[in-house]
Homo-oligomer: A and B are copies of this chain.
């Protein structure tokens, strides 16, 4: 039995493309590929999309594909610009139409969010925020979205009020895989007490961060520090440094962490240790919920 989508939801990031065939708010089918924005030239987006969702398209009309993520960046399919905070995470304005040749397709890309001072941008996370607020429209507090570039976002009255980006995930990957620490840090494995101790360490004396990183290598050489411990400590030092800098965001606030289970649990444990009581929301589910919310707003707007 072949599926015909009423519309298509797309989460198109740097490294992955995920698609859902939709009928209203109902998911008919899901698919994904490794054709992320990072590996595509401008004329590669339409073929990559058709390869994944071509079977879902009705032959006699244009099907709307609504996309969020880095597909809308300057080096993506079509630059979708930014909306300035404070504002609702998604709104009817700013959708960017991408150029297509196939008469069965209409592609619209959601804009990101920007902040003038301190300068900051997000692209993709705003949809997860919209997904979270769809279920909890009265939420007043702070959302933490850990990842390659973690975001902390103040939410009030249904709007993103201000936000701050941290390069924690990217720093961890660069240090663990490409720096001299790669010789001492495992690719897998975890040690929760070592992680929490490193978080405490970084939070209590954040100015010492730069001095602590090479210690992981030196202990590996001199005392045979277990690579799994080194991995947990490196993560704890970097997340601790992020929490130190993000303290004005989370201190005394209602906090929810939106992301994949592993990294969300690490942030949650670190925050609980500081006396916060974060809730968790699964990141992928929030993306889909946010795209559904954006689709509804786009239709109404």
Contacts and interface: CB of A to CB of B under 8 A. Distances in A.
Interface of A is mostly: helix
B170 A210 contact: no
A242 interface: yes
Contact of A179 (B82, B170, B181, B213): B170
A272 interface: no
A118 B164 contact: no
A165 B119 contact: no
A168 interface: yes
Interface string A234-277: 00001001101111000000000000000000000000000000
Given A119-B222, A165-B218, A178-B178, A246 B211 contact: yes
A63 interface: no
Interface residues of A, number: 45
Given A119-B219, A211-B245, A167 B180 contact: yes
Contacts of A39: none
Contacts of A238: 210
Given A114-B222, A178-B178, A209 B209 contact: yes
Given A206-B207, A221-B121, A241-B210, A170 B180 contact: yes
Contact of A210 (B121, B174, B244): B244
Contact of A245 (B115, B170, B208, B222): B208
Interface centre among A114, A167, A242 (most CB of B within 10 A): A167
Interface string A72-95: 001000000010000000000000
A209 B114 contact: no
Interface string A197-210: 00000000011111
Contacts of A247: 207
A279 interface: no
Interface in A150-183: 164-168, 170-171, 174-175, 178-181
Interface of A: 74, 82, 114-116, 118-121, 149, 164-168, 170-171, 174-175, 178-181, 206-211, 213-215, 217-219, 221-223, 238, 241-242, 244-247
